[in-house]
Structure 1
Amino acid sequence: MGKIFTSRSVLFGFLLVAFIIVFEIILARLHLPAWPAFMVMIFFFVVHEDLRQTPHILIGGLTGIVCVVLIEDFMHLLGPSVGMEAAKLAFIGLFVYAIVLLKDALPYVFNSYAFMFFLVSALAARQPDPAPYVWMGVELVVGAIFIAGIEGINRIVTAVLGGQGAALSTCHRR
């Protein structure tokens, strides 16, 4: 069993927490929701900071939020003839089926990130004054900044520590 705390994890963690606090303050001052960007951050860590997954996360996330807007139109269109609940379930079914069928053809758009962002956005849409277009902007812009920030933190840690803690933890690098 290796060391619990490495110099790399201590420094990375400190810088990451500082980064998160700064962006929490900035987003709060701008009256912007932080959750879309933090979902991007979480998913980026889930894929072990694999930059090749960035478009899957950002575009898939955007797709999920867009679907929260589309489901309303779909329900208003189909709801009068089949009922609102049936229209909602039909949209969800079509969306999930599209993910299954198109995940290999359009992996940036139809993926698990799209479904998770759809789910969380649908829950957020139940709150007073939902703002899905704002969520889209935060997800894309601040989410991309978060990914770049994590990469920057990794570079800073590597520059500061050099060879120390050279065995990069899988939760920080792939």
Structure 2
Amino acid sequence: MVNPLNKLNIIFLALLLVLIMAAELILEPRHLAAWPAFLIMIFYFMSHMNIKEAPAILIGSAFGLLNLVLITYWMGVIVPMLGGDMTKVTEPHTAEAMFIAKLIYIALFVALIVFLKDIIPWVFNNYAFMCFTIAGAVSGGYTTAAIAAHTVAGYANAVAAAGDNPEAIAAMKEATEKAIAATVPTVNVFQWIGIELVVGSIFIVGIYGIGQLLAKLAGAPPANTDIHG
């Protein structure tokens, strides 16, 4: 039985944690999302740390994230064709049209992956599908948080306005705006793509380098530094 607490695993863990903590310490204070980069790390582990898979991971993931932008243009074209009005998204008919348009887009997206995965594998792959799915979920969560924050801010400003004190009204408005800016995340797809490509590449190169170091220490490719299910 292999000892999981062997020297190579401990070294691998220590160096991996350095990478993770460095990314968090750099990105978090700047209010930059770290999850796109960590997805790349996870995908690299899922590929059994195969460096040849890196282009497909990075490019496919970027394409998946980009679809969060493309689908907004799609909705702007298709929803009106289905009788919806994008300026009245809460109306039942528009909501139904948006749902149908989204389903059509997803169907086309999946079809492209199925038909083109062997022709343009660096772009149309499972990494693209996963990133598009996760980015959509994150975007939805951000939107919900923003709506809730602006609703609370609206009530707070209304209470201040009821006091008929211009200074209090101005102070409350400034405070709520600062609070929203500091705490409510915003959807910035191109920023996510940049983080995914730059920090994700650093993760891949760093982990690959760790693997090479451990191989030299062991005298052979290490067998237990692969993190996968």
Identity %: 41
5+ residue gaps, structure 1, are: none
Using the TM superposition, give the Cα deviation of residue 158 of structure 1 relative to its aligned residue in structure 2, in angstroms.
Answer: 3.9
Is 1:98 the counterpart of 2:112 in the alignment?
A: yes
CA distance, structure 2, for counterparts of residue 136 and residue 87 of structure 1? 24
Query: Which of 196, 212, 224 is matched with 1:139 structurally?
Result: 196
CA distance, structure 2, for counterparts of residue 167 and residue 76 of structure 1? 52
CA distance, structure 1, for counterparts of residue 224 and residue 48 of structure 2? 6
Describe how 1:50-65 pairs up with structure 2 within 5 A: 50-65=50-65
Q: Alpha-carbon deviations, 1:12-59, whole Å to 9, x = none?
A: 111111221111101112321100000000000011110110011001
- The alignment yields a C-alpha RMSD, in angstroms, of 1.6
Helix, strand or coil for the counterpart of 1:26?
helix
Report which of the two structures shows the higher radius of gyration computed on alpha carbons: 2
Residue of structure 2 in register with 1:124 after alignment: 138
Contact 1:57 1:108 in 2 (8 A): yes
CA distance, structure 1, for counterparts of residue 11 and residue 123 of structure 2? 35
Runs of 4 or more above 4 Å deviation = none
What's the TM-score, normalizing by structure 1?
A: 0.91
Is 1:149 the counterpart of 2:206 in the alignment?
A: yes
Using the TM superposition, give the Cα deviation of residue 157 of structure 1 relative to its aligned residue in structure 2, in angstroms.
Answer: 3.2
Q: Report the AA paired with residue 41 of structure 2.
A: M
CA distance, structure 2, for counterparts of residue 142 and residue 118 of structure 1? 18
Residue of structure 2 in register with 1:22 after alignment: 22
Query: Which of 86, 91, 99 is matched with 1:85 structurally?
Result: 99
Is 1:42 the counterpart of 2:42 in the alignment?
A: yes
Contact 1:37 1:142 in 2 (8 A): yes
CA distance, structure 1, for counterparts of residue 50 and residue 16 of structure 2? 17
Q: Report the AA paired with residue 68 of structure 1.
A: L
User: Number of residues paired by the alignment?
Assistant: 170
Using the TM superposition, give the Cα deviation of residue 170 of structure 1 relative to its aligned residue in structure 2, in angstroms.
Answer: 5.2
5+ residue gaps, structure 2, are: 83-96, 147-185
CA distance, structure 2, for counterparts of residue 167 and residue 78 of structure 1? 52
Is 1:169 the counterpart of 2:212 in the alignment?
A: no
Decide whether aligned partners of structure 1 residues 63 and 91 sit closer, same or farther in structure 2, where only a CA change above 3 A counts: same
Contact 2:75 2:101 in 1 (8 A): yes
Decide whether aligned partners of structure 1 residues 54 and 167 sit closer, same or farther in structure 2, where only a CA change above 3 A counts: closer
Residue of structure 2 in register with 1:73 after alignment: 73
Q: Report the AA paired with residue 61 of structure 2.
A: G
CA distance, structure 2, for counterparts of residue 109 and residue 162 of structure 1? 36
